[in-house]
Amino acid sequence: MRDPQQRPARRGTSRHTEAAAAALQDWLQSQAARARTDRTAAAAITTLDPDLPGGLPSRAPRPDFGAPHRPPEATLPTDATAAPPLRLAHTDWLHHRLTVSGPADQLAALRTAAAGTGVIPWQLDLDRLAEDLFHRLIAPPAPQQRSLSAAGARILAGQLRDAVARRHAMAVARVGQSRACPFDLHALLPVPAALLRRGPDDAAALAWLWIHWGITDALRHVTAVDTAFPDEAVPPACEAVFRVTFWSADWSPWRALAQLAAQWPALRFALRPDYAAA
């Protein structure tokens, strides 16, 4: 399955570094410390800072989303605080089409609440990132062969760290300012500040995302669509319609949509995975 974040190569040393940093940042978001996401991960959420919400939902009510891509029912926890998030070793990016319909005023309110930057403003451990990069460059996995000296590896690791830091700082600065993403899960169901400080590879942070969103990464390439989808049911003439397409990591964000459907009972959410786009 392709990664929708792949980018073409660009000319120039600094641009190559920026492109490498972009690819690296995408890779980092898919590489959680999986060894730490065991059955203690979700339970750790309730012992964090006091600004975290109390009482995690065991299972939010699920409206009819058609056939969202999600784990078999047998693998879902009956108690959401008792199971680790489900993540694939290599992220499988799935394309989706979402249609939301209902009263015009309610839909307008949802669209206002949903608009955001489309990023999760994690706090990154840049020193650890640079050290991890150095070790990967100095001792690459087989069948790759080392091509840099220790000094060269240290310099390149530092350049990549700085490029990631610049890109991340620019993205975080837009949170609360930009509304470029029409359906931002962090704007609708924000990750608590205490978890943002722990970073994207923290076990408790991943568990929170899995419990509340049903996925463990932000949606990507979210695009508003004006025309009806081919298999879309015709809504009543008195209702307004909001359509978006996006890519999600490994599963459909069905837990997030279940919460949104409960918060906006007058609206209907219809989600369809689009496997033909893979």
**pLDDT of 173-193, one tens digit each?**
777 777 889 999 999 999 999
Q: Regarding predicted confidence, which is higher, 106 or 72? A: 106
Alpha-helical runs (H) found in the chain: 13-30, 41-45, 104-114, 126-138, 150-173, 185-188, 193-196, 203-212, 254-263
Q: What pLDDT is stored for residue 181 in this prediction? A: 94
Write phi, then psi, for 251 (nearest 5 degrees).
-135, 175
Torsion from C-alpha of 186, 247, 33, 27, nearest 10 degrees: -110
Q: What pLDDT is stored for residue 223 in this prediction? A: 96
State the Cα–Cα distance between residues 154 and 115, nearest whole angstrom: 40
What's the residue count for the chain?
278
Domain containing 25 equals 1-30+122-174
108 and 41 fall within a common domain: yes
81 and 209 fall within a common domain: yes
Domain count, the chain: 2
Which two tokens mark 118?
């489309």
113 and 145 fall within a common domain: no
Write phi, then psi, for 220 (nearest 5 degrees).
-125, 155
State the Cα–Cα distance between residues 127 and 120, nearest whole angstrom: 20
SS3 245: strand
State the Cα–Cα distance between residues 17 and 23, nearest whole angstrom: 10
Read off the pLDDT of residues 41-71 as tens digits, 9 standing for 90 and up.
333 333 333 333 333 333 333 344 444 454 4
* Strand pairing category for 268-273 and 220-225: unpaired
Which two tokens mark 52?
């975290």
Q: How confident is the model at residue 241 (pLDDT cuts 50, 70, 90)?
A: very high
137 and 183 fall within a common domain: no
196 and 110 fall within a common domain: yes
